[in-house]
Amino acid sequence: DARVTQTPRHKVTEMGQEVTMRCQPILGHNTVFWYRQTMMQGLELLAYFRNRAPLDDSGMPKDRFSAEMPDATLATLKIQPSEPRDSAVYFCASGLVVTGPNYGYTFGSGTRLTVV
């Protein structure tokens, strides 16, 4: 059963520290999303990539967040410096998008980030 792999599963860090979250999409998938989930905001789209190119990162606070896809097997989301309000679960999702029907996206297990 193909899976989206996210690391780390849990991260506790102090305010001001840099945090890097990683995602390995399902092999062959060409679209990767980063979502943030909080109790108040539900699932917020932060950024997404198609064929490794960023398509939209308008949901991300640009001053502290950055998202990259250095190769087809790795997507990263970085926060520098981190703040307590960044505490949330960060999900990566991947899917195969071609010119035609959307076959659905698969979510990873998430990274639970706590900034103290």
Partner 1 sequence: GENVEQHPSTLSVQEGDSAVIKCTYSDSASNYFPWYKQELGKRPQLIIDIRSNVGEKKDQRIAVTLNKTAKHFSLHITETQPEDSAVYFCAASKIQGAQKLVFGQGTRLTINP
Rounded CA-CA distance 25/113 in Å is 20
Q: Which parts of 45-104 interact with partner 1 (CB under 8 A)?
A: 45, 48, 55-56, 91, 93, 95, 97, 99-102, 104
Q: How far is the CB of 75 from partner 1 (least distance, A)?
A: 15
Which of 27, 39 has the CB closer to partner 1? Answer: 39
Q: Nearest to residue 64, comparing CAs of 19, 9, 21, 6?
A: 19
Bin 28: left if φ > 0, else alpha if -120 < ψ < 50, else beta: left
Contact footprint for partner 1 (CB under 8 A): 31, 33, 35, 42-43, 45, 48, 55-56, 91, 93, 95, 97, 99-102, 104-110
